[in-house]
Every structure is written in structure tokens, then in C-alpha cells.
Chains A and B, each alone.
Chain A
Amino acid sequence: MAAIDQRMSLLRSIQELEFTALELNLYLDTHPDDPQALEYFNRTSEELANLKMQYEQQYGPLLSYGFGKNAANAKAWSWAESPWPWEM
């Protein structure tokens, strides 16, 4: 149970950072010269990439169809191995 909690907590962090990055994306579309927002966007997207990499290494790919990497240590196709969102 603790493992799934850890996994869900990591997934939640990824969702939070993705939402923040999307909001800053929309803000920067209309305010491209805002250095503060741009700096926050860069920090957010970097942290988001780190968390995604950590999640995919521990739990399997977040996306399929060419967007995610098959886990490096997996011998077989790992996309269908991880639980579906409604199973978590």
C-alpha cells in the first residue's frame, strides 16, 4: 500500500508541475517578455522533466505511441504491464 501511495504522490507531483507549466505557457504566449514568468517556467519544466524521468524509471512509461521510452532495464514491452489509471 505504501508503494502505491508513493507512486500516486509522484504522479500527483507530475500533474501539478504539468499544470503549472501549462499555465505559464499560456501566460507567456501573451507576455513573452516577462523575465519572472519565463524563469519560473524554465525551472518548472526542468523539474517536470526530472520527475517524469524518475517516474518512468521506477514505474514504467507515462505515454506510449512514441512519446515515452521503454524502461531501459526492461527486456520486454512495458507499456501494457503497468496498471491502468482506474486500477491505481
Chain B
Amino acid sequence: MKNFTFKVVPGPPGAFNHLPPKPVAPVTPPPSQPVKSEPFGQPCPPPCPYYQHQPQYPPLQPPAPPAAGPMPQNPFAAARLAHAYVPWQYYRVVYPPSEALDKGTLFPELYQPQGVYGPCEGPEPCRVFGPWGGAPYGGN
């Protein structure tokens, strides 16, 4: 069977723009047309029914500035944002069969004992916070 899995290897930041920019055709402005300011092309009579209830949106908030100081070193710094990334697995050491069945995996690098996913995993009931239920991730 051919290997059909999807593998993404992160490159250095900014290295993905390896193609030269495409030549951009000069944009000719379309012939100007009269701007229809009213729907259906009809001017609105003085007690105008349209635009009376325009939704009022709050002003856009600028994004928060980055925290001062150097960025913390993380091992995925080279990975691009918004790309799912699964490290490739290599065959190294495996558990003996009896230990593998007890731990739920054959591979030590995939072993995650109870508790690392937060308080709500497993058969133990979750401590409930607030009327909506649930619990904060990583709480007790």
C-alpha cells in the first residue's frame, strides 16, 4: 500500500513565498455608472422606510499589542499559524505486550496517563462551576 498520509514539515518563517510574484495585469476601471444609492433604484420618499433600523455595531477594537519582552521559546516556533501539524512518528522503543495492554498504547511516546487532559476526563464526575456546568481546563 502506498503511503497516503499527509505530512507537513515546517519550514523557516517566511520561506514559503518561494514563487516569484505573478505579473499583475493592469486593471482598467469599468465605465462609470450612476451610483444607485437606494435599493430597487427608486429614491426613497421623505419618511424613508429604509435605513431606519441600521444595526449599530460597536467600533472595532484594535488587536492587543504583543506583550513586552522576547517571545517565549517554543518548539513549534517554525510552524506556520493555522496549519495543523502532526509530528511524524518513528519506530524506536515499544512496550512489552503486557505493559502495552495495561497502558493502552504500544508506544511510549503516545502514553498519556489519566489526568493530563484536564479534570473532566475519565469516569470521575467533573466538579461543576457555575450554573452552566462545566469546569475550567486544568482546574481541580
Would you call B97 and A16 a contact (CB within 8 A)?
yes
| A residues less than 8 Å from B3 (CB atoms) | 30-33
Would you call A16 and B105 a contact (CB within 8 A)?
no
Chain A, interface residues (CB within 8 Å), range: 20 to 34
Chain A nearest CB, measured from B57 CB (Å): 47
Would you call B100 and A32 a contact (CB within 8 A)?
no
Residues of A within 8 A of B (CB): 12-13, 15-17, 19-20, 23-24, 27, 29-34, 36-37, 40, 44
Query: How many residues on B have C-beta within 8 angstroms of the other chain's C-beta atoms?
Result: 14
| B residues less than 8 Å from A17 (CB atoms) | 97
Would you call A19 and B5 a contact (CB within 8 A)?
no
B101 CB-CB contact with A under 8 Å? yes
| B residues less than 8 Å from A33 (CB atoms) | 3
Chain A nearest CB, measured from B111 CB (Å): 12
CA distance A19 to B104 in the complex (A): 9
B16 CB-CB contact with A under 8 Å? no
| B residues less than 8 Å from A19 (CB atoms) | 97, 100-101, 106
Given contacts A17-B97, A32-B1, contact A24 B106 (CB under 8 A): yes
Chain A nearest CB, measured from B103 CB (Å): 10
Q: A20-B97, A30-B89 are in contact. List 4 more A-B contacts (CB 8 A).
A: A15-B101, A20-B101, A20-B106, A32-B2
Chain A nearest CB, measured from B45 CB (Å): 68
